[in-house]
C-alpha cells in the first residue's frame, strides 16, 4: 500500500500517548531537511503512562514489523505512513500521527 515516507520530524506515539523517536536515522537522505527512517531502526519511547493495576508498565522501545516493499536506502527498507511496529514490553502498536506529505512510496 502506498504511503508517505517517515522522517525524523514525524510525530509518532505509542497507543498510550508516549512520544516515540527513532534511535537511528539515515543522514544521507533527507525530506524537508529531516533524515528519513528505515525499518531496522528501533524507536525509543518516553512518557508512556500505561498502568496494569497498580503497576506502571510503560512502553520503552518499539521495533518495526512492516516497511516499504519497493524503496530502500542504503539497502534497507524505508518506513511509510502505514508501517506497523510493536512496543516492548507490552506489545501495543505505535501510531504515526503526522509526517511529511511530499514524498510517497510503496
- pLDDT 10s digits, 52-73: 889 999 999 999 999 999 999 9
**Measured between alpha carbons, how far is residue 15 from residues 23, 41, 42, 104 in Å?**
19, 19, 16, 24
Rg of the chain over Cα atoms, rounded to whole angstroms, equals 14
**Measured between alpha carbons, how far is residue 79 from residues 48, 56, 58 in Å?**
22, 30, 24
Mean pLDDT throughout 35-39? 97
pLDDT at 2: 84
* Residues 36 and 72: beta-carbon distance below 8 Å: no
What's the pTM?
0.92
Please tell me whether residue 24 adopts helix, strand or coil conformation.
coil
The CATH number of the domain where 45 resides is what?
2.60.200.60
Question: Per the structure, how many domains does the chain have?
Answer: 1
Chain mean pLDDT for the chain:
95
Residue 92 has pLDDT above 80, yes or no: yes
Q: Is 91 left (phi over 0), alpha (psi -120 to 50) or beta?
A: left
Residue 1 has pLDDT above 80, yes or no: no
74: cell is: 542504503
* Residue-range definition of the domain harbouring residue 83: 3-105
Q: Say which residues have a Cβ less than 8 Å from residue 33's Cβ, sequence separation at least 6.
A: 9
Mean pLDDT throughout 8-19? 97
Q: How far apart are CA 28 and CA 79, in angstroms?
A: 15
Amino acid at each position: 500500500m502506498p504511503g508517505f515516507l517517515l522522517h525524523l520530524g514525524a510525530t509518532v506515539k505509542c497507543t498510550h500517548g508516549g512520544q516515540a523517536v527513532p534511535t537511528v536515522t539515515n543522514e544521507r537522505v533527507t525530506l524537508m531537511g529531516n533524515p528519513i527512517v528505515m525499518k531496522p531502526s528501533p524507536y525509543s519511547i518516553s512518557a508512556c503512562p500505561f498502568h496494569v493495576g497498580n503497576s506502571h508498565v510503560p512502553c520503552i522501545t518499539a521495533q518495526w514489523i512492516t516497511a516499504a516493499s519497493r524503496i530502500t536506502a542504503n539497502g534497507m527498507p524505508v518506513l511509510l505512513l502505514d508501517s506497523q511496529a510493536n512496543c516492548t514490553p507490552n506489545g501495543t502498536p505505535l501510531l504515526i500521527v503526522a509526517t511529511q506529505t511530499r514524498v510517497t512510496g510503496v
